[in-house]
Amino acid sequence: MPKIIAANWKMYKTRAEARETAAALARLLTEKRTDRQVIVYPPFTAIAEAAAALDGLACAAVGAQDVYPAAEGAFTGEISPRMLTDAGATWVLTGHSERRHVLQESDELVGRKTAFALANGLCVMLCIGETLKERESGCLREVLQRQLQAGLAEVAPGDISRLAIAYEPVWAIGTGKVAGPDEAREAHGITRELLRDVLGAAAASVPLLYGGSVKPDNAAGLLALDNVDGLLVGGASLEAESFAKIVLA
Ligand code: PGA
């Protein structure tokens, strides 16, 4: 399967800034032969701008950073799958560590979001990962198991082909501390194994991305590891030049 390189722009960029970065990315990647799939997750307000700017780049898609699990209704401040699709998004992130830890999202809510977005035609990148405290107390497997079981509890078998998992150790996000090859290899191996328990044989074709302080100079090494099918990039995706280097790493 083609490696997936995804850009999480978090709460950065106005519409004009998003348009400029996406257009620069399209320029940098056009005519570069790459079999990589590129996904850009701008803030909600810039999804349509980014989608328009990346329209000519066949390998690129645009996604949203969150979604609410209802078609419509009295959910002030929330956004539905249909609204995201209408804006030009084909992907959505669920369970990003900042939503789990800053916005206090429960495993159960992440599971409802994942299943609902998939059932409504979006591709979903479910994020999982342990905190430093959890890792140091030897709970890595337990945490990943809990997040995968709850995150995938309601997913219909027919939707698994539109699912990806991003393993992002919380202690490596935005900290400059990347998981070493041994740590990443171990966590991805465990994740693949746990996925098999939850999804059965279909788990083999679900892409597993690594995220957490990915930079142009560590991207190739991470992509070479077993069970690393792509990268989810935060800080280093905000500039087109550095993200393009990661796409081409
Ligand atoms: P980072 O963020 O690359 O800045 O560590 C990754 C993420 O939060 O998805």
- CATH number of domain containing 115: 3.20.20.70
DSSP state at residue 92: E
CB 8 within 8 A of CB 232: yes
Contact 9, 225 (CB under 8 A): no
Give the range of the structural domain holding residue 216, as residue numbers without chain letter.
3-247
**pLDDT tens digits for range 102-147:** 999 999 999 999 999 999 999 999 999 999 999 999 999 999 999 9
Tell which one of 168, 217, 246 to mutate to probe ligand 1, the residue whose CB is within 8 A of the most ligand atoms.
168
> What one-letter code names the amino acid at 15?
R
Give the pLDDT score at 178: 82
Domain count, the chain: 1
Cα(74) to centroid of ligand 1, in Å? 32
Decide whether any atom of ligand 1 lies within 6 Å of the 213 Cβ. yes
pLDDT value, residue 37: 97
The binding site for substrate comprises: 8-10, 174, 213, 234-235
Q: What is the pTM of this model?
A: 0.97
Long-range contacts of residues 190-193, Cβ cutoff 8 Å, at least 24 apart: 190/140, 190/141, 190/144, 191/128, 191/144, 191/148, 191/165, 191/167, 191/227, 192/227
Under a CB-based contact definition with an 8 Å cutoff, are residues 126 and 164 in contact? yes
CA distance readout (Å), 102 to 7, 147, 153, 171: 20, 16, 23, 14
